[in-house]
């Protein structure tokens, strides 16, 4: 690498990667509900960091599409983990969708 070239920026990518690994480990070894919640939260943190302007390894597409994709996926993962063992909340959401 020559002196004039810019170094590759990792940004907050290692933090997000470690959080995702912890979320998957919690899913497998502790409780799927809390692991899914943690993984969804980490993905939404990645969306917030991408929205705040952090590029580096988090940037895959345009900022707008990255933020939308990560936000929707993280929200669905958190919602699914909350619905995993909660029959009352499932019934409420199904009644709202049935209208």
Q: Where are the domains of the chain?
A: 13-97
CA distances for 9 relative to 3, 25, 41, 57, 95, angstroms: 15, 27, 23, 7, 47
pLDDT at 1: 44
Query: Could you tell me the pTM of the whole model?
Result: 0.76
Residues contacting 61, CB < 8 A, separation 6+: 69
Percentage of the chain with pLDDT > 90?
A: 28
pLDDT at 55: 72
Q: Would the pLDDT of 8 be above 70?
A: no
Q: How confident is the model at residue 2 (pLDDT cuts 50, 70, 90)?
A: very low
Give the integer Cα–Cα distance in Å for 67 and 95.
Answer: 30
- With contact defined as beta carbons under 8 Å apart, do 33 and 81 qualify? yes
Q: How confident is the model at residue 58 (pLDDT cuts 50, 70, 90)?
A: low
């Amino acid at each position: 690498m020559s002196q004039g070239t810019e170094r590759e920026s990792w940004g907050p990518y290692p933090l997000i990667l470690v959080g995702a690994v912890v979320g998957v480990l919690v899913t497998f070894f502790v409780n799927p509900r809390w692991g899914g919640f943690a993984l969804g939260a980490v993905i939404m943190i990645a969306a917030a960091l991408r929205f705040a302007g952090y590029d580096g390894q988090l940037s895959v597409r345009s900022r707008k599409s990255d933020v939308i994709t990560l936000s929707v996926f993280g929200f669905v993962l958190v919602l699914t983990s909350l619905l995993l063992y909660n029959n009352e909340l499932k019934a409420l959401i199904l009644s709202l969708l049935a209208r």
